[in-house]
Structure 1
Amino acid sequence: MIAIVLTVCLASAPTTCKEERPFFEGSFLACATQGQFIAARWLNEHPAYTLTRWRCEANKPRETPI
Structure 2
Amino acid sequence: MVFCLIADPTQCRTVTPLIPDDQYLTMSNCPIAGQTEGARWVDEHPNYRMTRVRCRIGNKPKEQSI
Q: Distance in 1 between matches of 2:55 and 2:6?
A: 23
RMSD: 1.7
Structure 2, unpaired ranges of 5+: 59-66
Structure 1, unpaired ranges of 5+: 1-5, 60-66
Question: Any idea what the Cα deviations from partners look like across 1:10-64, whole Å, max 9, x if unmatched?
Answer: 11111111211122242224423322111111111111111111111245xxxxx
For normalisation by structure 2, the TM-score amounts to 0.65
The structure with the largest alpha-carbon Rg is 2
Could you list the runs of 4 or more consecutive aligned residues of structure 1 that deviate by over 4 angstroms after TM superposition? none
Q: How many aligned residue pairs are there?
A: 54
